[in-house]
Homo-oligomer: A and B are copies of this chain.
């Protein structure tokens, strides 16, 4: 990087930059009128939360769509995950998880009397490396909490074989994995419980929101009562529960969105194709593999930037793209294991550390115009070319 490079970038940005910020994502919102027309009967009956009709409909629709027998809606994914941990009656101890995730995955452990133990990730999938898993299991291990990062399914077979051998429950953080299938089977069919997030940054959103899915009917009843204070009847509280309920406004937004999900995914698929076509042979950039047996949701488009070959490092690319009004995100930097307050045993996490330093997520959402994706690809290629010159 030198003055010539800087002035060339400024010149390029002036002619090619976007007029308005292009964010990494944008919620797929239906027309507000559709939300209103779904919400109105609940409004007129003045029933806006607590087992409302829209809540029941959305639960049923999502369970069908996502092919899970039991699904419970929550106010957000973090409270859902905390409730899942509670439902498993884990004693104080540790949970094996990945450092390459959004802070929520780890933070809920601290709120639940548990400690994270970090397992390194696989270089290519960014998911917990199941070949290292068993080495982390001790007599203090209480559960395994892998994350389907960017919607790529974890190595579920191996994880669950190991978990079964040690009699440990598996909770998947499936915040990224809405609608993903593998070998014709829902991603939610794995493990004891899966957590979904419906935050505004996700492919399906209720503004804030989330859900838990399980194959286990007893666990489902437990989750259902835990999210409503433990109440099981007008005069019975079976155990101390909290408030994890989703309200009817959120449920109406969810219902209004269902009809557009396929079209949104198709748009994302095309954008994914455009980015891949543009960037797949670029020196120093690597793209996320698309496993043959997976039906993806195209939620994210992470690229990996290797400075030696690309000509600039990820942070420089991130900052330089800002000059073009392209607001990428360093998902996930910093690593959860690197926070000064993180009390986890700090083993070697070389792949996670590399990923945290090299990955950048490009703008990806259904309403992103294809010409913009094309242009973002061109800008990245040009920047690499300039940097290497």
A interface, CB within 8 angstroms of B: 26-27, 29, 32, 36, 39-40, 43, 46-50, 75-79, 82, 86, 102-104, 106-111, 113, 199-200, 205, 207-208, 229-231, 235, 237-243, 245-250, 253, 330, 333-334, 339, 341
Contacts and interface: CB of A to CB of B under 8 A. Distances in A.
A333 B27 contact: no
Contact of A240 (B47, B106, B239): B106
Given A29-B43, A36-B32, A242-B82, A103 B230 contact: yes
A208 B55 CA distance: 13
B242 A48 contact: no
A104 B27 contact: no
22 contacts: A32-B36, A32-B43, A48-B207, A49-B207, A49-B208, A75-B76, A75-B79, A79-B243, A82-B111, A103-B230, A103-B237, A104-B243, A106-B240, A107-B240, A113-B113, A207-B249, A208-B245, A208-B246, A235-B333, A237-B334, A249-B250, A249-B253
Q: Give the 3 A-B residue pairs with the shortest CB-CB distance, closest first.
A: A207-B247, A78-B243, A107-B240
Contact of A86 (B26, B111, B235): B111
Contacts of A205: 48
A77 B239 CA distance: 19
A242 B40 contact: no
B46 A240 contact: no
Contacts of A48: 27, 29, 200, 205, 207
Given A75-B76, A76-B245, A103-B229, A110 B208 contact: no
A243 B103 CA distance: 10
A79 B107 CA distance: 15
Given A26-B46, A86-B111, A107-B242, 7 more contacts: A27-B46, A29-B43, A32-B40, A49-B199, A75-B208, A77-B243, A208-B243
Contacts of A111: 82, 86, 111, 240, 242
Number of copies of this protein chain within its complex = 2
A39 B247 CA distance: 17
Contacts of A333: 235
A86 B107 CA distance: 12
A49 B75 CA distance: 13
A332 B205 CA distance: 36
A120 B35 CA distance: 47
A382 to B, nearest CB: 26
A339 B43 CA distance: 35
A108 B242 contact: yes
Contacts of A330: 235
Contacts of A32: 36, 39-40, 43
Question: Max chain B CB contacts within 10 Å: which of A110, A230, A237?
Answer: A237
A246 B253 CA distance: 15
A339 B235 CA distance: 10
